[in-house]
Structure 1
């Protein structure tokens, strides 16, 4: 029996939260994105995993898809901003400003982004691009 896209996604999130290596989770999230290409949350997760494994170009493409599918998702914009910094792209400020506006409007999203950034810095402590984004968003 094949797993549903939702159960695959949920399983991937649980495994990530349990501390599983992002490298191992990438194929799972690629499959979820292939099977459900309009799922912005799946693309957001895949971009995050690529960023954690230092694959900035792949992260940029996944984050661009996530933002295109859901422009109001602050985590997708955080991922896009980090990927843009890591690949030397211009236009990061626009995404940071939009993320700040969204986070000001919805406190739960602000808390979620803050938690995700903290998690990212625990998994990749010297992550300069993420530290810059964190400073811009939370100073």
Structure 2
């Protein structure tokens, strides 16, 4: 009986931690969209803020490490790669490719968030 209770408690803790990580991702939605917009505007002006791009990429990688403990989606890896591509394109001065990649990144982020993650919209 004690073993069954311990297993149920562990399962409950894992479920709560998974829901908290998904809730945290929902809170970060506005932050990432805002950063994408800011970076996209600076890329359009051909003066990208490389430190903001690098920081956003690092933040996303940290977020992804936490998320993949409870939720795996192939789009998470693809989005991490796109942040790296944006940074590389900006360093090379290929601003149109960086702009296009940012547009795709935003679309992927919104699709993942609004359509594919199991986030109840009423808790937001």
Same fold by TM (over 0.5)?
no
TM superposition score normalised by structure 1: 0.29
Structure number with bigger Rg: 2
Which has the larger helix fraction?
2
Higher relative contact order (CA 8 A, sep 6+): 2
TM superposition score normalised by structure 2: 0.31
